[in-house]
Structure 1
Amino acid sequence: MKQFLIRFLRLILGLFLYSLGIVVTMNAHIGYAPWDAFHVGLGKATGMSIGTASIITGLVIGIIAIVLGEKLGLGTILNMVLIGVFLDMIMAFHIIPVLNNMFLGIIMLVAGLFIIALASYFYIGSAFGAGPRDSLMVALTRKTGLPIGVCRGSIELIAALVGWILGGMLGIGTVISAMVIGFCVQTTFKLLKFDATAVNHETLDATFKMVISIKKELFNRKEVTENQVNSPR
C-alpha cells in the first residue's frame, strides 16, 4: 500500500510539474510548442480556456488510441484531466511572468523544457501508463510500420499547423522546443540515472485490482484490530 501511494503521489507531482513547465514555456512568449499552439488556438476558436482545450484534446486522442488498440492506464486518464486543470490553476494565479525579451525568453523557454523533462521523470517513473499523445504515437507506429520518430514528428507538425491556423503563436520558440526537448529529457534522465525503457507500465485494470486488494487489506487490518480491542483479557 505504501509503495502504491508513493507511486500515485509521484504521478500527481509529475503532472503538476508538466503543467508548470508548459506555462513557463508559453510565457517565454517567443512561440509555443506544437501541442501548446494547438491548445491555445483551439481555445481562441471556441472561447474555452487553454486547460479545457487540453482536456478535450486529450480525451479525443485517448479514444482514438483505444480504437487503434492501445491500453490505457490510470496515468493516461489523469493526464487527460489534471494537466488541463493544473494549467488553468497556474495561469489563474499569474505566478509566472510573461516576458517580452527574446534573450530572456529563450532562457525561460529552456528552463521550462527542463521542468517538463523533470516532470516526465516523475510521471513516467510512476509506471501508471503513458499519456494519450504518447499512446497515439505508439499506436500509429504499430499500425503504419513507420519509424516512431516519423510518427511523432508528423503528429507534432499537424498539431502545430492546425494550432497556427486557429490562432496559436508559432515562432523561434516552436523550433527551439522541437530541437531542445530531446536534449533536456536525455540530460535529466542521465543525471537522475533513470531508464524510461525499463519501466513496465501498469494497465487500468491492473491498477483497479491493486486498489481492491489494498481495500481488502485495510478492511482485514481493521477487523483484526477491532477483535483485539473487544477480546476479553
Structure 2
Amino acid sequence: MTFLGVRRGLQLLLGLFLYGLSLAMMIRATLGVSPWDVLGQGGSLRTGIPFGFMTNIIGLIVLLLWIPLRQRPGIGTVLNVALVGPSAEIGLALLTEPTQLWARILLFTGGLVLLAVASGLYIGARLGPGPRDGLMTGIHARSGLPIWLVRTGIEGTVLVLGWLLGGTVGLGTVAFALLIGPLINLALPVFRVPERPRPAPDTAPDTATAGT
C-alpha cells in the first residue's frame, strides 16, 4: 500500500470519528439541532415514524438523488453510516451539558468548526462522501457553483422544509445552516489528498522509424 493510500484510509477514519464527536458537541450545547435533524423531527411528527428510522429514510432518499447527479458511493459512504453514529454516542457519553450560556455557545461553536474540519478530512480522502455530503459535491460538480453556495442552499432548503413539517428550530440551527457551507469550503482544499500523479507519456523516439 502506498503512502497516499495509508493517508487516505487514516484520514477517512479520523474524519468520521471527529464528525460524530462534533455532532455530540452541538447536541450537548442545546442551542438547536442541524437542519437535517430538524427535517427528521418534522418528518417523524407528520408520519409517526420514529426519529431514527426517519433519519435512515431521509438518507436513502438522498442517496437516490445521487443517480441523476452521477455520484457513486464508496467505502467512505458505507463507513459514514457505520461509524458516525457510534462515535457520536461516545461523544455524548464523555460530554455533559453546560449550565452557563457562554459555555454552551463555546461548545456549539467548537462543534460547528470541528464538523467542517471533519468533513474536509473524510471528503478530502476521496474514498466516498456520506449521503448528504455526496449530494453537495454532486451538485457542485454538475452545476459548477461554489461549494459554500451549494451547501448553504441545501441546508437552507432542508431547514425550511423541516420547520414547515413541525421540526424544532433554534439559534444554533440557523447558525449551522448559514455557516457550515463557507466553513467546509475553507476546509476542503486544506485536507484534500492529491491525485496520484500519472506516469509521463513515453516521448522516446520510435526505433523502428528513427533515421528514416
- Fold match (TM-score > 0.5): yes
CA distance in 1 between counterparts of 2:44 and 2:13 reads 25
Structure 1 position 194 matched with structure 2 position 197: no
Q: Is the 8 A contact 2:17 2:84 kept in 1?
A: yes
- Structure 1 position 108, deviation (Å): 0.8
Q: How many residues align?
A: 193
Partner of 2:104: 105
CA distance in 2 between counterparts of 1:69 and 1:47 reads 31
Structure 1 position 136 matched with structure 2 position 135: yes
- Structure with the higher helix share, 1 or 2: 1
Q: Is the 8 A contact 1:10 1:126 kept in 2?
A: yes
Cα separation, partners in 2 of 1:46 and 1:185, compared to 1, 3 Å:
same
Cα separation, partners in 2 of 1:68 and 1:16, compared to 1, 3 Å:
same
| Other structure's SS at 1:46 match | coil
- Structure 1 position 185, deviation (Å): 4.7
CA distance in 2 between counterparts of 1:167 and 1:98 reads 25
| Other structure's SS at 1:109 match | helix
Q: Is the 8 A contact 1:127 1:200 kept in 2?
A: no
Partner of 2:176: 177
| Other structure's SS at 1:194 match | helix
Partner of 2:206: none
Partner of 1:73: 74
Q: Is the 8 A contact 1:24 1:108 kept in 2?
A: yes
CA distance in 1 between counterparts of 2:49 and 2:171 reads 26
101-110 or 67-76, larger mean C-alpha shift: 67-76
Partner of 1:96: 95
Q: CA RMSD in A?
A: 3.4
Q: Is the 8 A contact 1:28 1:105 kept in 2?
A: yes
CA distance in 2 between counterparts of 1:150 and 1:7 reads 26
AA aligned opposite 1:47: P
AA aligned opposite 2:69: L
CA distance in 1 between counterparts of 2:103 and 2:57 reads 32
CA distance in 2 between counterparts of 1:114 and 1:181 reads 8
Question: What pairs with 1:41-60 in structure 2 (closer than 5 Å)?
Answer: 41-42=42-43, 45-49=48-52, 53-60=54-61
AA aligned opposite 1:125: G
| Other structure's SS at 2:71 match | coil
- Per-residue CA deviation, residues 105-143 of structure 1 (Å, 9 max, x unaligned), is 211111111221332243133221233223223434566
CA distance in 1 between counterparts of 2:138 and 2:190 reads 24
Which TM-score applies when normalising by structure 2? 0.70
AA aligned opposite 2:49: T
Partner of 1:114: 113
Structure 1 position 13 matched with structure 2 position 9: no
AA aligned opposite 2:108: L
CA distance in 2 between counterparts of 1:141 and 1:114 reads 21
Q: Is the 8 A contact 1:39 1:163 kept in 2?
A: yes
AA aligned opposite 1:35: W
